[in-house]
Amino acid sequence: MSSETTSASDGFTKGSNTYDEAVRHNIAGSDRLIMSLPAGRYPTVLDVGCGTGWTSAAMVRRFGVETLVGVDASEGMLEKFAAKLGEEFPDVTVELRHEDVMEMTVPDGSFDAVICAMALHWFPDKTAAIARMGRALRPGGVMGILTAGRGGEDAWRELLARVDAPSAWTDWFAQNQRDVHEIEADLRVAGLEPVDVWMERRRRHTDPDAFMARTRSVAAHLLGNPPGGFSELDRRIERALHDASGPDGFVYDYCKLYAVARRPAA
C-alpha cells in the first residue's frame, strides 16, 4: 500500500472505536444512497472502503444480499465491520479483505453491485479507483457512490487557515471533493453509464466538541496525535472551534455527492 493510503487508513484504525458515534449523522447518507439504487436482485455485493459497515447493512436490509465482500485498508474498521454484520445478519456470507482499492484481488465481472460510501475522497487516484471498482461489476451490474461534494466547508476551511494547518489539510478540499460533472466523466472513463447523479448541501449546527470528535475519527492522520494524547495542532483546532462557535454551536455547510451508474449489459 502507498504511504499516503497507509497513513489515512492508520488514522481510521485509530478512530475506529469512536467512528460510529462521531459520524452518526452520515448513516442517513448511506441509507439514501442504497434507497436510490434501481430495484432489482443484488445477491453478490462488493463494498469498497466498507468501514464499520453502515452501507453494507443498508444494502442487506433493502435487497437481501447473499454474499458481501468488504474491502478496506484499515484493519480496525474491518474488525468493527465483521462484528456488526456478523451479529445483525448471520445468514449473509461475509468476506473481508484488508486491501487498498487499487490492489483489490476481487475478480473482474463478478459483482451484481459495487458500493462505495464516504471513501472515494480518501482514495489518491479517484478516476483509476472508479475504473477498478467498475471492472468488478458484471455486465448490467450497478454502482453506487457517495463522496465529498465540491463546495461548502467555507467555515471549516477558514478555521484551518487561521490555525495554520499544514497544506496537506488546506489543499485537501480542492484535491478530493468532486462535482457532478467530474464524477460523471470518471464513470464514463470506467465504461459505466450514469443513471442518477446529484449533490446535496447541508448546514449543520453542531457542538464544537462533537465536531472535534468527528474530526479525530475521520482525519486522525491529519491531526498527527501521538498515542493517547493530542498534538499541538489538535489543541489549536479545538480552541479555534470554541472561539468560532456561537449560541448555535459551530455552523458549517458541506456537500455530499451521490452517483448511481450501471455497467452496460453485454
Contact status: 215 vs ligand SAM (CB under 6 A)? no
Closest approach, Cβ 73 to ligand SAM, in A, equals 4
Single-letter amino acid code for the residue at 3: S
Q: Based on CB atoms, which residue is closest to ligand SAM, 103 or 158?
A: 103
Q: Can you read off the three cell numbers belonging to residue 93?
A: 456470507
Q: Is 249 in the site for ligand SAM (CB under 6 A)?
A: no
* Residue 12 within binding range of ligand SAM, rule CB under 6 A: yes
Calpha distance 121→48 (Å, rounded): 12
Residue 251 CB neighbours (<10 A)? 13
- 218: contact with ligand SAM by CB under 6 A: yes
Q: Which stretch binds ligand SAM (CB under 6 A): 83-91, 118-126, 182-190, 250-258?
A: 118-126
What is the crossing angle of helices 54-63 and 27-35, to 10°? Answer: 40
Q: Decide: helix, strand or coil at residue 81.
A: helix
Contact residue for ligand SAM among 63, 122, 156, 254 (CB under 6 A)? 122
Which strand ranges, in their side-by-side order, compose the sheet holding 93-98?
Answer: 93-98, 67-72, 44-48, 111-117, 137-152, 250-262, 193-206
The residue of the chain with the least Cβ separation from ligand SAM equals 51
Q: What angle do CA 64, 74, 93 make, to 5 degrees?
A: 25
Nearest by Cα to 159 from 225, 242, 219: 242
Return the range that interacts with ligand SAM (CB under 6 A); candidates 35-43, 112-120, 181-189, 247-255. Answer: 112-120
Does 101 engage in binding with ligand SAM (CB under 6 A)?
Answer: yes
Round to whole Å and give the CA distance between 216 and 212.
Answer: 6
Interacting residue with ligand SAM among 51, 149, 152, 249 (CB under 6 A): 51
Q: Does 94 bind ligand SAM (CB under 6 A)?
A: no
Please, what is the minimum distance in Å from the beta carbon of residue 181 to ligand SAM? 24
219, three cell numbers = 482525519
Indicate the residue type of 51: G
Residue 190 or residue 244: which is nearer to ligand SAM going by CB?
190
What grid cell was written down for 98? 484488508
Interacting residue with ligand SAM among 45, 50, 137, 257 (CB under 6 A): 50
- Residues 261 and 142: beta-carbon distance below 8 Å: yes
Site size toward ligand SAM, by CB under 6 A:
24
- 147 binding ligand SAM? (CB under 6 A): no
- C-alpha distances (whole Å) from 241 to each of 54, 155, 156, 252 are 28, 10, 9, 11
Instruction: By CB under 6 A, tell whether 192 contacts ligand SAM.
Output: no
Is residue 72 involved in binding ligand SAM (CB under 6 A)? yes
Q: Minimum distance between the CB of residue 93 and ligand SAM, rounded to whole angstroms?
A: 19
Tell me the closest approach of the beta carbon of residue 143 to ligand SAM, in angstroms: 14
Interface with ligand SAM (CB under 6 A): 5, 8-9, 12, 30, 49-52, 54-55, 71-74, 77, 100-101, 117-119, 122-123, 218
